[in-house]
A and B are shown apart, each in its own frame.
Chain A
Amino acid sequence: MNLTLKIWRQKNASDKGKMVDYPVSDISPDMSFLEMLDVLNEQLIEQGEQPVAFDHDCREGICGMCSLYINGEAHGPDRGVTTCQLHMRMFKDGDTITIEPFRATAFPVIKDLVVDRSAFDRVQHAGGFISVNTSGNTIDANAIPVNKHDADDAFAAATCIGCGACVASCKNSSAMLFVGAKVSQFALLPQGQVEATDRVLNMVKQMDEEGFGNCTNTGACEVECPKGISLENIARMNREYLKAAFKG
């Protein structure tokens, strides 16, 4: 396939940035999207130009490091996959593909398509944990049975990879799906109950301080989430928050 790529180039955080066109040829439909960008970068290096910077690591859809806003969608046109698992068979010969970074006030651009998502880490520092020290003497893992449905729902929430697609897809740059997933995982498990009040209050407070917007229930986050994290998690977080606010 032969394609035209329109790619956001930005030298560093203070640079203004602009879209630049690049033609690429002989792209196999079996390539992943990032392998296609590898081809472009090899080409740029050969020509003595700067390769396009983009985040990536595991290339199997689990580490959450890859991002990219492709043709107006976080992680591109396919559903339930990250950019590293998006394959070129989703595109046609002759297509023009627009590639931008994830955009949000809380995700400043570092270079080209690389953004700083450390705001997510800081929200987790505020309460995304159960306060249990490492010890050889915690109770036996089977001492507290957990209802299978709750355990499965907790797992489904916990599969969030922290990529930020929810924020990039939201017109308000809201992080409610990301935060809701973490709050839900612990809210659904008996181990998470002890700190439930502080957790939700602290995480939401930090989320607001990072400059993420509010949720207006458009549901774009759920559609674009590569792991299918459900909107129910936002509802659950809101319930937890309300409960916690009344408790004070």
Chain B
Amino acid sequence: MALDSKIPQGPIADKWTNYKNHINLVNPANKRLIDVIVVGTGLAGGSAAATLAELGYNVKAFCFQDSPRRAHSIAAQGGINAAKNYQGDGDSTYRLFYDTVKGGDYRSREANVYRLAEVSANIIDQCVAQGVPFAREYGGLLDNRSFGGVLVSRTFYAAGQTGQQLLLGAYSAMNRQIGRGKIKMYNRHEMLDVVIVDGKARGIITRNLITGEIERHSAHAVVLGTGGYGNVFFLSTNAMGSNVTAAWKAHKRGAYFANPCYTQIHPTCIPVSGDHQSKLTLMSESLRNDGRIWVPKHMKDVEAIRAGQLKPTQIAEEDRDYYLERRYPAFGNLVPRDVASRAAKERCDAGYGVNATGEAVYLDFASAIQRYGKEQAHIKGLDENDAALVKKLGQEVVRVKYGNLFQMYEKIVDQNPYETPMMIYPAVHYTMGGIWVDYNLMTTVPGLYAIGEANFSDHGANRLGASALMQGLADGYFVLPYTIGDYLADDIRTGPISTDTKEFEEAEKNVKDRIASLINNNGSHSVDYFHKKLGKIMWNKVGMSRNEKGLKEAIEEISTLRKEFWADVKVPGTADEYNEELAKAGRVADFLELGELFAKDALHRTESCGGHFREESVEEDGPQKGEAKRDDENFTYVAAWEYKGEPKDAVLHKEDLEFKDIELKQRSYK
């Protein structure tokens, strides 16, 4: 099948408006006759479910957590971008579009990104109207901060809990519709298959996680807002339950999976402390607004620190290597995430890591505390030369801006970051790859949509900070509700979809058989045993830097591990009860397939771009020596994989990316 991205004609700035003017609409009376299933209730799924219900569709929403409010969007910290230009610093729709395409290393679809930038301002208006308490200045207007990879301040925030506040906004919009009966909410339900009838997505099979009951649900269209697949690495900043299962089942039913190898490794996370670790914790990128990243210049200082004979605060300014400021003077500590992560790895690989494992760098607030303290002393007419006073005042400012993050760090690491620099190291955080969708956000299966992190469309090979929240809400509030209407206009006479058909029966049997084989397997190792092994392979060979040899090994190792899993996994309990191990087993089984496709995708893309760094493809000389080298001639396309049984047999389809409004350039932050 040829991939048709269905990008509207015309100049980029008019595409979305023209598109909206010419699509088919469903009249309000007919919307009442149409059912839509939304799987996942994070920013994308939650906002979509609420908006579709407001429009009059009958929505059935599903989440595996005990409430829609728990979705992992809640953990997003730093902020949400919008081209409001409230700061008057030169921001515009075009500039947000440009920054996002450039930040994505020219591997995203121009038309989608422009639309994202276009609706970004509406998101802020909508959220404020819903009562989302964004940070404000003393004049009562909204405050902004700056994020990596850009030269303007366009990020709106609510302390370090922006994702929480935005999700609670979408949740409140959902609650209003649940109360009105327009959304039927299924908590603690996990989607285990998509049902296709006459070539169209017409329903899903779910497992009730409390009773174990397998259920059939039908609708005229199915929307997946099921997030990313970072947990294929076992250790990531994702929630424990975040998984690829819904997306992977869709893939197996015909939805192409795009760019699985594009993964974001976030530079500022709390380092791994030991083998017991179950997940990693992010420290918001907003900290790089004020924190400076460094390692010692001299190996003797590194050794002394590791031996506990020297404290970082005792190292003189001239003996520190602020390596981001050194290598990238224009952007400094605010380079994009992929660049910052690789730079940290480079220093640690060279032996300059500052903790026992050698995998940590410092994020230091001492100079910010000084700067803010002096400013406050000046404002209050106090003595700017009183060091203790300045420190105290400065710490207060930092506490207001980042207090919850500092507290989180202190609880986990047991060190006070107001007094000593934080230790950070990169960790898996977000997946830019996902289910392939066209301009309408429809997958290659008619009637099956993917929104938010679950799709691939807007971030190319690297996502800029504060753009995930923007994309999730743009898709759910402002894009999908239009595009899905164009498709559903053909369904006004279809009537309710029966679940009493052979397609539902086949899908249900499939699900039950798979559960039975997991329960009856009676092997010798727990699910986590296999998940941890998969994570090690992924991190070591398909992680921050990749090469041909390692990737080929990874493919073999994952394939072998998958066989071992099915032969030897042990799932206690039964299928007809609350059984967390069974739910985990199903998710890890899917990760074991996705992981191989991930490595296969990384192997075929021999260029370096964004978060995908191939050691074979670096700049050999010139001012960019050592930086990632893109290959636009051969790789300016989206790799969309078609399922053919085993991951190794997946067939590659290419969607060529055209750049008409932005010139392809080497991405420089120097």
Contacts and interface: CB of A to CB of B under 8 A. Distances in A.
B74 A58 contact: yes
Contacts of B69: 63-64, 121, 162
Contact of A134 (B54, B65, B70, B75): B54
Contacts of B47: 134
Given A32-B278, A129-B172, A139-B125, A48 B74 contact: no
Interface string B633-656: 000000000000000000000000
A57 B130 contact: no
B125 A85 contact: no
Contacts of B168: 158
A233 to B, nearest CB: 14
Interface centre among B66, B69, B74, by most chain A C-beta atoms within 10 angstroms, is B66
Contacts of A45: 526, 570, 572, 581
B412 A87 contact: yes
Interface string A126-168: 1011111111101111100111100110110011011000000
Interface stretch (B139-147, B197-205, B287-295, B337-345): B139-147
Nearest to B241: A57
Contacts of A155: 133, 135, 158-159, 165
A159 B161 contact: yes
Contacts, number: 211
A87 B165 contact: no
Interface centre among B161, B277, B279, B528, by most chain A C-beta atoms within 10 angstroms, is B279
A35 B273 CA distance: 12
A156 to B, nearest CB: 9
A131 B261 CA distance: 41
A85 B161 contact: no
B66 A117 contact: yes
Interface string A35-51: 10011001011101111
Interface string B153-188: 000001101001100100111011011000001010
B84 A141 contact: yes
B561 to A, nearest CB: 18
Interface string A52-80: 01011111111111000000000000101
Nearest to B579: A53
Nearest to B477: A134
B619 to A, nearest CB: 37
A62 B74 contact: yes
Given A58-B239, A121-B175, A141-B142, A146 B136 contact: yes
Interface string B236-266: 0101110000000000000000000000000
B662 interface: no
A57 B175 contact: no
B131 interface: yes
Contact of B128 (A49, A129, A141): A141
Interface in B98-139: 119, 122, 124-131, 133-139
Contact of A57 (B72, B273, B274, B277): B72
B577 A12 contact: yes
Nearest to B581: A51
Interface string A19-43: 0000000001011101100110010
A197 B652 CA distance: 59
A120 interface: yes
A125 interface: yes
Interface string A208-227: 00000000000000000000
Interface string A181-192: 000011001011
B481 interface: yes
A30 B274 contact: yes
B133 A138 contact: no
A3 interface: no
Interface in A93-139: 110-111, 114, 116-118, 120-121, 124-126, 128-136, 138-139
Interface string B545-588: 00000000000000000000000001011000110110000000
B281 interface: yes
B408 interface: yes
B128 A191 contact: yes
B624 to A, nearest CB: 36
Contacts of A80: 407
A89 interface: yes
B172 A130 contact: yes
Nearest to A146: B140
Given A12-B577, A81-B411, A135 B126 contact: yes
A192 B131 contact: yes
B130 A130 contact: yes
B86 interface: yes
Interface string B595-618: 000000000000000000000000
B179 A126 contact: yes
A84 to B, nearest CB: 9
For chain A, which range describes its interface: under 10, 10 to 19, 20 to 34, or 35 or more residues?
35 or more
A188 B150 CA distance: 34
Nearest to A161: B164
A191 B130 contact: yes
A62 B86 CA distance: 30
A64 B50 contact: no
Given A87-B411, A129-B176, A136-B122, A35 B65 contact: no
Given A132-B130, A140-B125, A141-B124, A125 B175 contact: yes
B126 A63 contact: no
A83 B159 CA distance: 22
B140 A145 contact: yes
A130 B131 contact: yes
B140 A118 contact: no
Given A30-B274, A51-B572, A142 B86 contact: yes
B418 interface: no
B27 interface: no
Contact of B131 (A147, A148, A186): A186
Interface centre among A55, A58, A132, A162, by most chain B C-beta atoms within 10 angstroms, is A58
A38 B142 contact: no
Given A50-B572, A142-B86, A59 B278 contact: yes
A42 to B, nearest CB: 6
B67 A59 contact: no
B663 interface: no
B133 A151 contact: yes
Nearest to A142: B141
B67 A57 contact: no
Contacts of B526: 42, 45-46
Nearest to A85: B411
B454 to A, nearest CB: 18
Contacts of B414: 30, 87, 89
B483 to A, nearest CB: 14
Nearest to A189: B131
Contacts of B119: 136
Interface in B43-60: 47, 50-51, 54
Contact of B578 (A89, A110, A191): A110
B130 to A, nearest CB: 5
A189 B165 CA distance: 14
Contacts of A136: 119, 122, 478
A85 B408 contact: yes
A85 B410 CA distance: 10
Nearest to B64: A57
A145 B139 contact: yes
Given A63-B69, A116-B66, 11 more contacts: A32-B412, A35-B276, A57-B239, A63-B71, A136-B478, A141-B125, A141-B134, A141-B142, A151-B133, A152-B136, A155-B158
Shortest Cβ-Cβ A-B pairs, 3 listed:
A145-B140, A129-B172, A155-B133
7 contacts: A51-B581, A60-B279, A85-B408, A118-B187, A139-B129, A141-B142, A146-B136
